[in-house]
Amino acid sequence: MSRKKVLLTGATGFLGSHLLRSMIDHDKYDVVVLKRSFSNLFRIQDLLTGRVVVYDSDRKELDAVFQENRFDCIVHTATNYGRAGTPTSAILDSNLIFPIKILELAIKHGTGCFINTDSYFNKEHLSYTHLLDYSLSKKSFNTWLKYFSKKIKVANIMLEHIYGEQDGPDKFVESMIQNIAVQKVKTVNLTYGNQKRDFIYVGDAVEAYMKVMENVSNINFSYKTYELGTGKSIEIKEFVGLIKDLSRSNTNLNFGAIPYRPDEIMDSKGDISELENLGWHPRFSPREGLCNILKKYGIKDL
């Protein structure tokens, strides 16, 4: 089987770093990483060997990257959530302008497919003002993806609530693990916790991406959305309680201390039928996924 050359954006981030590790482990891909010169490499430092080519997008002309490499596929995971007062223009530059530039170059240089990372925030029937700039930028890019799919095959992976090892400290699951299981703070204030989320462990998510990569060139479509979750949703209250139980923490979970947002998403779960048609199925329950993370923090006897 011939090796495929893949351009990966967002490799220094949570999902992207796990994807990079998996691509290397599979040994079917030659990976080119596109990052910024000031990106923190702590997640992938051990992977930056001769098998991975790295370009700094703020120092290297993007067209030169495509001239030096013929890519079979682009996997786009880079994103800007717009936290901590990030200007809207910066969010648009990261989530809209930058990937459109890549799309234009991919078409110009004959790249076969573009695999995009989307969010459950952007389902058509949902409206969510939390991280609104992020959500609007991603929705806008999705409109452009459909336009560009006339010239390049597009697989849009719509992620449910992903969690796993080495996630950012500002992400919900990681912050709960830190507060409840690691630091074991006295009290954590929460909403009532009746919102239901489809929590997908990163190991399962990565396997889904790999399955799409393996099959995308063999399927006849121009644009297709793959919803990525477990297909089941559970209440946040149950999920957070599981963290407490598994870590045997005495932290008081103060449910109801924080009001729901006015347009809170009360239930979201992925329709994973398209991924199941490719032969992918989730393997990790919330308990199993959380146990994997807690073991990394030295919490044993799970």
How confident is the model over 104-122, as pLDDT tens digits?
A: 999 999 999 999 999 987 7
Distance CA(193)–CA(225), nearest Å, equals 29
pLDDT band at 128 (very low <50, low <70, confident <90, very high): low
CB 195 within 8 A of CB 206: no
Query: Does the structure show a pLDDT above 80 at 123?
Result: no
Report yes or no: 180 and 219 within 8 Å, Cβ to Cβ. no
pLDDT reported for residue 48: 87
| Helix ranges, 131-201 (H) | 132-148, 172-176
Structural domain count, the chain: 2
Looking at the fold, whether 190 and 154 belong to one and the same domain comes out as no
- Residue 105 sits in a domain of what CATH number? 3.40.50.720
Residue 279 domain flag: no
User: pTM for the complete prediction?
Assistant: 0.95
Question: Same structural domain for residues 88 and 188?
Answer: no
For the chain, helix, strand, coil in percent to 5 are 40, 20, 40
pLDDT band at 27 (very low <50, low <70, confident <90, very high): confident
Length of the chain: 302
Verify that 128 and 49 share a domain, yes or no. Answer: yes
Under a CB-based contact definition with an 8 Å cutoff, are residues 203 and 142 in contact? no
Residue among 193, 192, 196 at smallest CA distance from 256: 192
Q: Rounded to whole angstroms, how far apart are CA atoms 176 and 188?
A: 8
Confidence grade of residue 129 (pLDDT, cut at 50, 70, 90): low
Q: Are residues 92 and 142 in the same domain?
A: yes
pLDDT for residue 84 is more than 90: no
Under DSSP, is residue 207 helix (H, G, I), strand (E, B) or coil?
Answer: helix
- Is the pLDDT assigned to residue 125 strictly greater than 60? no
Alpha-carbon span 290 to 93, nearest angstrom: 34
- pLDDT value at position 127? 55
Instruction: Tell me: do 104 and 14 sit in the same domain.
Output: yes
Query: Could you tell me the residue range of the domain that residue 177 belongs to?
Result: 172-197+232-270+284-296
What is the chain's mean pLDDT, rounded? 94
pLDDT, tens digit (0-9, with 9 covering 90-100), for 265-299:
899 999 999 999 999 999 999 999 999 999 999 99
**Residues 24, 132: one domain?**
yes
Q: Which pLDDT value is given to residue 2?
A: 78
Supply the residues annotated as catalytic: 134
Q: Are residues 32 and 71 in the same domain?
A: yes
